[in-house]
C-alpha cells in the first residue's frame, strides 16, 4: 500500500453509484486502489432518471476502468431484502470479503418530488416520508446488517452519506429521514464498538450533481457549491486512516474532514459550506 493508493487490496461496495456522489465515490475509491463493487437501480437500458443520459452504474464502471481502476457493476435495489442478500452472496463468491461499505443509495425524492410539497406541513404527500425512510435509513440498515452477517467477517469500515439536520429545520420529511439516518450511524457504531468496525456519517455540502445542474441555473450554483468528488475524497481519507475508529458513531461535515486531512476539490478549492451556512443563519 502506498500513499498514492491507500486502499490497495481493499474491496469496497459503493451503493447508489450511477451518478452524483455515488459515482464520484466509486471513481475516487478505484483511483485509491480499491476494487469497487458499484451498485444502483439505474443500469444499462433501465435508468431511474432517463432525462440524464449516461447516468447508469455500468457507465460508472467504464469510467473508473478507463482511468486505470478496477470495478464491477451490479444492479441492486437496496430497499429489497432479497436483492441485497443476493448481492452479498455474489460478493462472497467473487471476493470472499468486503472491507469497505459506502451506504449512498437514496432515491428518496422519487416518485414524489420536492416540488409537490404543500405550503402547509399537513399538505405534505403521505408517501414522501415513507419513500425517504425506505431510501435512506432502511436501505442503510438492510445493506449494513447483511454485509456484517455475510462478508464483513474481519475488520472493516461502514460509511453512510447523509446530511446535517439544521437549525431552524428545513423540509419536514427530509429532516425526519436524515435524522433517522444519523441516529442509525450513532446506534450501529455503538453496537459494533467491540467488534472494531467503525460506522461514520459523512455530510457533504451543496453539491453540483447532475440533478442539481438540471434544476438550477449556473448562477445559483456559484459560490460555495462543490463537486461530488470533494466529499468522495474525504471518504477516501477516512477509509485510509488506521485511526478512523475514533469517529465511529459521528456525523462529520466535509469541511471537518478537510481540516483533518487537507484534500481539495477538483478545482483546488476547500469550501466549508455547512459551517458558513450556519454562521450566516446565527442571530
Mean pLDDT per segment of 10 residues, for the chain of length 283 residues? Answer: 81 95 97 98 70 80 97 97 98 97 84 63 88 95 97 91 86 93 98 95 81 61 81 98 97 96 94 70 59
Spatial neighbors of 110 by CB under 8 A, at least 6 apart, are 48, 131
Dihedral Cα 99, 196, 202, 190, nearest 10 deg: 140
Q: Does residue 74 lie within any of the structural domains?
A: yes
Cα–Cα separations (whole angstroms), residue 51 to 55, 210, 215: 9, 10, 12
> 199: how many CB neighbours lie within 10 A of its CB?
28
Domain count, the chain: 1
User: Cα–Cα distance between 255 and 278 in angstroms, integer?
Assistant: 13
What pLDDT is recorded for position 154?
Answer: 74
User: Cα–Cα distance between 264 and 231 in angstroms, integer?
Assistant: 10
Q: Does residue 2 lie within any of the structural domains?
A: no
Would you state the cell numbers that stand for residue 17, as one nine-digit string? 453509484
Q: Does residue 5 lie within any of the structural domains?
A: no
What pLDDT is recorded for position 1?
Answer: 47
Q: Which domain holds residue 59?
A: 11-281
Q: Is the pTM of this model over 0.85?
A: yes
Q: Does residue 66 lie within any of the structural domains?
A: yes
What pLDDT is recorded for position 217?
Answer: 64
What pLDDT is recorded for position 68?
Answer: 97
Q: Does residue 116 lie within any of the structural domains?
A: yes
CATH code of 15's domain: 3.40.50.720
Task: Tabulate helix, strand, coil % of the chain (nearest 5).
Answer: 45, 15, 40
User: Cα–Cα distance between 128 and 104 in angstroms, integer?
Assistant: 19
Amino acid at each position: 500500500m502506498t500513499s498514492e493508493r491507500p486502499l490497495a487490496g481493499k474491496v469496497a461496495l459503493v451503493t447508489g453509484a450511477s451518478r452524483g456522489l455515488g459515482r464520484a465515490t466509486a471513481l475516487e475509491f478505484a483511483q485509491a486502489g480499491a476494487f469497487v463493487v458499484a451498485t444502483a437501480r439505474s443500469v444499462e437500458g433501465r435508468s431511474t432518471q432517463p432525462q440524464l443520459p449516461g447516468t447508469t452504474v455500468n457507465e460508472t464502471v467504464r469510467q473508473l476502468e478507463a482511468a486505470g481502476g478496477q470495478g464491477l457493476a451490479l444492479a441492486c435495489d437496496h430497499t429489497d431484502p432479497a436483492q441485497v442478500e443476493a448481492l452479498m452472496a455474489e460478493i462472497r463468491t467473487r471476493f470472499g470479503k468486503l472491507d469497505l461499505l459506502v451506504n449512498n443509495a437514496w432515491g428518496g425524492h422519487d416518485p414524489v418530488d420536492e416540488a409537490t410539497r404543500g405550503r402547509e406541513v399537513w399538505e405534505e404527500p403521505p408517501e414522501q416520508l415513507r419513500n425517504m425512510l425506505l431510501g435512506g435509513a432502511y436501505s442503510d440498515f438492510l445493506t449494513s446488517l447483511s454485509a456484517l452477517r455475510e462478508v464483513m467477517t474481519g475488520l472493516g469500515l461502514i460509511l453512510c452519506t447523509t446530511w446535517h439536520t439544521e437549525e431552524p429545520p428545513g423540509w419536514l420529511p427530509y429532516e425526519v429521514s436524515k435524522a433517522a439516518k444519523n441516529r442509525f450511524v450513532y446506534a450501529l457504531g455503538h453496537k459494533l464498538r467491540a467488534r472494531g468496525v467503525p460506522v461514520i456519517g459523512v455530510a457533504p455540502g451543496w453539491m453540483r450533481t447532475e440533478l442539481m445542474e438540471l434544476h438550477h441555473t449556473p448562477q445559483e450554483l456559484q459560490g460555495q457549491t462543490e463537486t461530488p468528488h470533494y466529499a468522495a475524497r474525504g471518504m477516501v481519507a477516512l477509509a485510509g486512516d488506521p485511526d478512523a475508529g475514533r469517529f465511529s458513531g459521528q456525523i462529520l461535515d466535509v469541511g471537518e474532514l478537510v481540516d483533518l486531512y487537507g484534500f481539495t476539490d477538483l478545482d483546488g478549492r476547500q469550501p466549508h459550506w455547512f459551517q458558513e451556512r450556519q454562521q450566516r443563519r446565527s442571530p
